Structure 1
Amino acid sequence: MRVSSARGAGALAGVTMALIVAWCTSAGAHAGPAAEGWRAAPPAPIPVVASTNVYGDIVERIGGDRVDVVSVITDPAQDPHSYEASTRTQLELSKAKVVVENGGGYDDFMDRMLRSSGNSSADVINVVGVSGKVAPAGGELNEHVWYDFPTMGRLADRIAAALTRSEPADAGTFRERAKEFKGELASLRARTDRIKEEHGGTPVAVTEPVPLYLTEACGLVNRTPSAFSQAVEEGQEVSPRTLHDTLALFTGGKVQALVYNEQTAGPQTEKVKQAAEHNHIPVVSVTETLPAGRHYTGWMTANVDALQNALSR
């Protein structure tokens, strides 16, 4: 009796265990793909806020699908100097892990809104700070550093480092993308070097300091009265004497091209443009933000090409 009961209990236990193992195996087989899919889901993109779409585009180039970028200023017809930030900007800044601002007084609204947002942990990249540029003795800093290709190379490395701090697992990808971007910048620098070889020392005029890092890289000499370009940049009236001196540049071969900022156009800059056109001086139009459908290096390539074509006429 005892032997028979033990054998029966043992047999029953064996059957029960087999059923449990079979059920677990079957359940695991069905749950496996879902569980693996859940484990393989990538982390949420890194939230980034950039003051303009120029910097937003560079962040996207380096971060790819690992970033979610909001660019505050995106309209090429808008003057960034007079931009008034919105509550939406403050909301986006409150969530950002990385913030890219130009600095140098260009986009002060970013610092004000970031402080108001209560976000003290964001990694803030100040591009003027990255550039290392300072105002010349007795002069003013040209804060339009996105026209300076060496600065954009340093910015690429800084962005890669900031994204790596937020998502260390993707460090290699960020570094490789930054390297590719810097390769494109090297090609742009080679193009400006060729212009410098062919046209170095050529006098030009500008309506505002925006393109000066580019024209200087090409070896061109700016003949515009500083009082004119500074007044235009600051939204002030140009004195009649200064306007007269500027218009006189376009007669007698004093300059070979005019580089015209479309985003700060007004009656006085329009007179300058008309004077250039009337005297058959080529006009090269530039903007402060990315035109629709363009990426940074394509945009800058078009600017360099336009300058080359103007000087080769």
Structure 2
Amino acid sequence: MRVSSSRRLALITGVSLAFLAGCGSSSDSGSDADTSQAAASSVVPVVASTNVYGDIAEQIGGKKVAVTSIISDPDQDPHSYEANTRNQLALSKAKVVIENGGGYDDFVDRMLKSGGNSSAEVINAVKISGKTAPAGGELNEHVWYDFPTAGKVADSIAAALAKADPADSATFTKNAAAFKSKLKPLEAKEAQIKTDHGGESVAITEPVPLYVIEASGLKNATPAAFSEAIEEGDDVSPKTLQATLAQFTGKKVKALVYNEQTSGPQTEKAEQAAKTAGIPVVPVTETLPAGEDYLGWMTANVDALASALAK
């Protein structure tokens, strides 16, 4: 999900108004009291831009960390998120900050600067991934759907926590190794999909799941103009919409991978066209569903894709 100029302005405006009013709604999983308690008990205060990275941090840090995830509501569209004063306070006290980068959550860097926190260890997942925009294209910043990147992020979190809490560095390293070992079955599932269905085409509504799709040897048949417009929150032209819906005619694609967290009239038309054609729909989200952890969530996503392709 790329944040457009209008959305960036909304983020800045939302923060400014929150400061003027002295209050604001929050969708973070922690609280000011949590941060104070963390300092008192010598656990490491960690702030993650979303609960995806917050969960990974908790798996690496265990009881040695107090994690605040800024975007954590599975029913909230991350495209329209507005940071607030509670987020600002948490970031000002964090020793470790985990952001996605790539334009996904620029408010983190702005708030770190405005809060005067220059000492926090900042982990940028896109930079760690090493991924760049293809020639003539745009970067797919949804790198948490790339399992090798998730492993690199885990190692970076362990290193940052070890710097903040050297006495427990061995624990962090061990936990990161355990997390990475649990990513291997996910990569094996992708490899099996590639063996069974490599070269087959699927449709998407947004680029969110593309790293899994590509690692599974599948082709994305959706016009780029459609998925990019949906990602930016822009209207899809009638011609592009017609071309998108046409891919479901005659079952030219085996499945539609649908970002249900940012659905709208045009994506709903795609979903209905797929269902009418008897093409399976695989729902995905950008943040963790309630009660899920990263590994369980991604396992369910990959299993659902494999199941849909097998129909």
State if a TM-score over 0.5 links the two structures. Answer: yes
CA distance in 1, matches of 2:180, 2:139: 25
Partner residue of 2:64?
66
CA distance in 2, matches of 1:276, 1:244: 13
User: Do the aligned residues in 1 keep the contact of 2:250 with 2:277 (CA within 8 Å)?
Assistant: no
Deviation of 1:113 (Å): 1.0
1:220 matches 2:218: yes
Aligned residue runs from structure 1 range 1-313, under 5 A: 44-313=42-311
Deviation of 1:79 (Å): 1.9
Deviation of 1:253 (Å): 2.1
Match of 2:117, SS state, is: coil
Q: Please report the TM-score for the alignment, with normalisation by the length of structure 1.
A: 0.86
Partner residue of 1:12?
none
User: Do the aligned residues in 2 keep the contact of 1:259 with 1:285 (CA within 8 Å)?
Assistant: yes
CA distance in 2, matches of 1:92, 1:216: 36
CA distance in 2, matches of 1:114, 1:166: 18
> Which of the two has higher C-alpha Rg?
1
Deviation of 1:43 (Å): 5.1
User: Which stretches in structure 2 are left out of the alignment for 5+ residues?
Assistant: 1-39
CA distance in 1, matches of 2:123, 2:176: 15
Offset from partner CA, 1:206-253 (integer Å, 9 cap, x none): 000000000111111000000000000000000000000000000112
More helix by share: 1
Deviation of 1:102 (Å): 0.3
Q: Please report the TM-score for the alignment, with normalisation by the length of structure 2.
A: 0.87
Offset from partner CA, 1:153-202 (integer Å, 9 cap, x none): 11110000000000001011000000000000011101110111001011
Moved more, 272-281 or 247-256: 247-256
Partner residue of 1:36?
none
Number of residue equivalences: 272
Offset from partner CA, 1:273-306 (integer Å, 9 cap, x none): 0000000000000000000000000000000110
User: Do the aligned residues in 1 keep the contact of 2:251 with 2:277 (CA within 8 Å)?
Assistant: no
Higher relative contact order (CA 8 A, sep 6+): 2
CA distance in 1, matches of 2:79, 2:130: 22
1:273 aligned partner, one-letter code = E
Moved more, 93-102 or 107-116: 107-116
CA distance in 1, matches of 2:293, 2:221: 31
CA distance in 2, matches of 1:46, 1:169: 12
